[in-house]
Amino acid sequence: MRRRVPVLTLFLASLLSAVAGPGSLPPPDRLLPQLRSRLGLATNEFDRAASLALIEKFGGTLVDPTAEPAPPEAGEVLAGKRRFEGDILYLRVGQVSSGLAPQLRAALEDGEWTRNTVGLVLDLRFAWGNSFEAAGQAGSLFSGAAGDILDWGAGRTTVDGTASVWRKPVAVLVNGETRGAAGALAALLRREASAILVGRATGGDLAVIEEFDLDGGGRIRLPLAAVRLGDGSVLPRGGLEPDILVRGSTEEDRLHLEDPFATPVRGSGKPGESKPVDPASSPRRRINEADLVRAQREGLLPGDAKTEVKASPIVRDPALARGLDVLRGLAILKRS
């Protein structure tokens, strides 16, 4: 393997200079041999330590190909669409790619589907993609501002205040698999649409990342540019903390993507195993006076009848249930 001691020498000297201050260190060709000698390290040990220090200093990480998860299979851009009790819409994002903004616009401008709605749950759990441009375009649909709303170094998203197609409350579901462009979209919605982030901390990669191969095998992931919101604030590269923390596991989140009414089987020894719930036989919440009054107004029962009013099945997805509760609460406050 070719040795690159001169390059490491220069960079390590630069690193040490930043720590010790200008003018306080001897030239690299004198300093580094002395350090190596005093530390009692072989040349290869010293070079490895210097390399790791440089990678860490500039925010890079070594990629172990044997430990890398398989890349996600290409899926739908909008992977789920529902309408929940209380006139709340739900959209699940599968990819943050160039097709996201047009599909979001089409869904949110569908007058039949959005009629009488009070809020939107946007599910970014497991959403993938590295296009910050796509994140900016999708976020612009929720922004009433004028100016830059997202800057990723190589480009920026600028709006004129007329791009917004949704001005009602938004809850965004996130977890550790919400990373990269999906995490940037979550941050953008929190700023531009006052969205509430519900779930667990996102997975990071909130920077423009470049990966390159090493001569001896393996790769390095190096952040080249920060991602900034419209106010100039830099997104934390390690990820975002939710506004409302919801305990749970990645396996349960994945389960509930397909069936939000499914009940995980406890004590089975199989994480993520579930028992599908038949909405017709699922537990019912108690019917209160407000339910009966609403049912009567909507013509679901005559004024003097004692017909049973069936409630919707219980949402077992903890993050989704919390997001729905938040939006219902906001709708009540707005009416009061």
Distance CA 57, CA 15 (A): 8
Domain ranges of the chain: 5-58, 78-256
> Quick one: pLDDT at residue 43?
83
DSSP state of 146: E
Amino acid letter, 175 = N
pLDDT higher than 70, residue 73: no
CATH topology (fold) of 78-256: 2-enoyl-CoA Hydratase; Chain A, domain 1 (3.90.226)
> Quick one: pLDDT at residue 265?
63
Q: What is the pLDDT of residues 221-265, one digit of tens each?
A: 777 889 999 999 999 988 999 999 999 999 999 999 989 998 876
Residue ranges with strand state E in 97-234 = 119-123, 146-151, 156-160, 170-174, 196-199, 207-213, 219-226, 228-229
Q: What is the pLDDT of residues 126-175, one digit of tens each?
A: 998 889 999 999 999 999 989 999 999 889 999 998 889 999 999 999 99
* Band (305; pLDDT cuts 50, 70, 90): very low
Taking CA atoms, 272 is separated from 47, 97, 262, in Å, by 45, 28, 11
DSSP structure string for 178-206: -BTHHHHHHHHHHHHS-PEEEES---B--
Asked whether 118 and 86 are in contact (CB, 8 A), the reply is: yes
Looking at the DSSP assignment, which residues form a beta bridge with residue 172?
122, 197
The pTM for the full model equals: 0.74
Distance CA 263, CA 316 (A): 6
Q: Which of 32-36, 60-64, 248-252, 318-322 has the highest mean pLDDT?
A: 318-322
DSSP structure string for 226-251: E-EETTSPBPPTT----SEE----HH
What the block records as the tokens of 9 is 């020498």
pLDDT higher than 90, residue 194: yes
